[in-house]
Amino acid sequence: MVRGLTARRSGFGVLLAAALPLLATPAFAKEIKIGFICPLSGAVAVYGNDSLEAAKVALDEIAKSKMLGEHTIKLVTADTGGNPSQAAQAVQRMIDADEVHAVFGGCTSPETAAAIEITEAAKVPLLSHLAQDTSLTQKGNKYFARIAQTAKTFSSSAAQWVLESRKAKSVYILARNDNYGQSLADAFEEKSKELGVTVAGRVAYEPNGREFKPILAKMAEAKPDFVSILGFYTDTGLIMKQMGELQIAIPTFANTSPAIRQFREIAGPAANGAYGALYYFAGSIDTARGKEFTANWQAKYKRQPTQYEGMGYDGIYVLADAIRRASAAGKLTSEGIRDALLTTKGFEGATGTITIQPNGDVVRPLPFVQLTGDELKLDFLMK
Amino acid sequence: MTFVIQLMSGLAVGCIYGLVAIGFSMIYRAMGLVNFAQADIMMIGAFLGYAILVAAPGIPFWLAIIGAMLGAALLGFVIERVAIRPSVARRADQVYLVLLTLGIGIVLSNGARLIWGADPVVYPTGLTHQTLTLAGYPLPAVYLYIAVVMPALLVGLHLFFTRTWLGLALRAAADDPDTAATMGVRPALATSVSFALASAIGAAAGVLYAPISYVSFDMGVIGVKAFAAAVVGTLGSIPGAVLGGFIIGLGETFGGQLIATEYQDSIAFAIMIGILLLKPTGLLSGARR
pLDDT of A46 above 90: no
A254 with A353, same domain: the answer is no
* Interchain proximity A234–B212, CB inside 8 Å: no
pLDDT confidence of B261, banded at 50, 70, 90?
low
Distance from CA of A244 to the nearest CA of B (A): 8
In angstroms, the CA A93 to CA B145 distance is: 49
A194 and A270 co-located in one domain: yes
Residues A253 and A324 in one domain: no
pLDDT in the model for residue A2: 41
pLDDT at A140: 86
pLDDT at A22: 39
Contacts of A43 in chain B (CB under 8 A): 120, 216, 218
- If asked whether residues A206 and A298 sit together in one domain, one would say no
Question: Does B130 lie at the interface with A, CB-CB under 8 angstroms?
Answer: no
Q: Inter-chain contact A43–B261, Cβ cutoff 8 Å? A: no
Rounded to whole angstroms, the Cα distance separating B219 from B170 reads 30
Number of domains chain A is built from: 2
Mean pLDDT calculated for residue range A317-336: 93
Domain closes at, from A261, A278, A295? A278
For B89, how many CA atoms within 13 A lie in the half-sphere containing its CB? 10
Residues A225-239 pLDDT 10s: 999 999 999 999 999
B175 touches chain A (CB under 8 A): no
pLDDT at A88: 96
| Distance from the B20 Cα atom to the nearest Cα atom in chain A, whole angstroms | 17
Q: Do A139 and A157 belong together in one domain?
A: no
Q: In what order do the strands lie in the sheet with A352-356?
A: A347-349, A352-356, A362-363
Q: Comparing A39-43, B8-12, B66-70, B154-158, which segment has the lowest mean pLDDT?
A: A39-43
Check whether B73 has a pLDDT greater than 80: yes
Cα separation of the two ends of chain B: 37
Give B13 to chain A, closest Cα distance, Å.
8
Residue to mutate among A41, A77, A221, A235, with most B CBs inside 10 A, is: A41
Q: What is the mean pLDDT of chain B?
A: 89
Q: Does A44 lie at the interface with B, CB-CB under 8 angstroms? A: no
Q: Which residues of B touch A221 (CB under 8 A)?
A: 1-2
- The more confident residue out of A13 and A205 is A205
Per the structure, the complete domain to which residue A129 belongs is given by 7-148+287-366
> Band of the pLDDT at A174, cuts 50, 70, 90?
very high
Higher pLDDT pick, A206 / A18: A206
In a domain, A371, yes or no: no
Who contacts A103 (Cβ-Cβ below 8 Å, separation ≥6)?
A34, A35, A36, A37, A91, A94, A95, A115, A119, A124, A125, A126, A127
Residues 204-223 of B with CB under 8 A from A: 212-214, 216-218, 221-222
- Whether residue A380 is contained in a domain is answered as no
Strand A366-372 to A275-277 pairing: antiparallel
Mean pLDDT for B140-168 is: 91
Question: Per mean pLDDT, which range of A88-97, B4-13, B18-27, B31-40 is the poorest?
Answer: B4-13
B280: amino acid identity, one letter: P
For residue B287, what pLDDT is reported? 60
Whether residue B232 has pLDDT greater than 60? yes
C-alpha separations of B78 from A248, A366, B194, B195 in Å: 46, 53, 12, 9
Checking if the pLDDT of A14 tops 80, the result is no
Can you give the pLDDT at residue A19? 41
Distance to chain B for A380, nearest Cα, Å: 30
Q: Enumerate residues 6+ apart whose C-beta is below 8 A from A358.
A: A342
Q: Do A213 and B9 touch (CB under 8 A)?
A: yes
Nearest-by-Cβ selection for A238 from B131, B213, B221: B213
Residues of A in contact with B120 (CB under 8 A): 43, 234, 262, 266
Band (pLDDT 50/70/90 cuts) for residue A171 is: very high
- Are residues A281 and A367 in contact, defined by beta-carbon separation less than 8 angstroms? yes
- Residue at a domain's end among A278, A312, A337: A278
Q: Is the pLDDT of residue A28 over 80?
A: no
A377 domain-assigned: no
| Least confident among A28-32, A211-215, B214-218, B235-239 | A28-32
Domain end among A253, A278, A303: A278
Q: Does residue A232 lie in a domain region? A: yes
Backbone phi, psi, residue B74, to 5° = -65, -45
Q: For chain A, where are the alpha helices, taking DSSP H only?
A: 13-18, 45-65, 84-93, 109-122, 151-166, 179-194, 213-222, 233-245, 261-267, 288-301, 307-328, 334-341
Residue A373 lies in a domain: no
Q: What is the CATH number of the domain that holds A296?
A: 3.40.50.2300
Tell me whether residues A237 and B214 touch, CB distance under 8 A: yes
Same domain, A136 and A15: yes
- What digits encode the pLDDT tens for the residues A236-265? 999 999 999 888 999 999 998 998 889 999
* Cβ separation A206–B253 shorter than 8 A: no
Contacts of B139 in chain A (CB under 8 A): 245
* Angle (nearest 5°) at CA B156 between B230 and B65: 80
Own/partner contacts of A301-306, CB < 8 Å, gap of 24 or more, are A305/A54, A305/A280, A306/A50, A306/A259, A306/A260, A306/A282
For residues A224 and A257, membership in a common domain is answered with yes
pLDDT higher than threshold 60 for residue B289:
no
Those of residues 219-258 in A touching chain B at CB distance below 8 A are 220-221, 234, 237-238, 241, 244-247
Residue A20 has pLDDT above 50, yes or no: no
B257 part of contact set with chain A, CB < 8 Å: yes
CB–CB of B265 and A205 under 8 A? Answer: no
Q: So what's the pLDDT on residue A27?
A: 41
Helix, strand or coil for residue A103? strand
A128 and A248 part of one domain: no
With beta carbons under 8 A apart, name residues in chain B contacting A266: 120, 122, 214
In the prediction, which pLDDT does A45 show? 83
CB contact under 8 A, B2 and A214: yes
Residues A242 and A358 in one domain: no
Residue A144 and residue A13 share a domain: yes
pLDDT at B65 (0 to 100): 96
The amino acid present at B277, given as its one-letter code, is L
**Chain B residue with minimum CA distance to A260:** B119
Residue A2, domain member (yes or no): no
Residues A190 and A233 in one domain: yes
Does A208 reside within a domain?
yes
Please check whether residues A119 and A167 belong to one and the same domain.
no
Distance CA B233, CA B54 (A): 37
Q: What is the mean pLDDT of residues A272-284?
A: 92
Out of B120, B212, B256, whose CB is closest to A43?
Answer: B120
* % of residues, chain A, pLDDT over 70: 92
- Whether A374 maps to a domain, the answer reads no
CB contact under 8 A, B262 and A42: no
Question: Is the pLDDT score of A7 beyond 80?
Answer: no
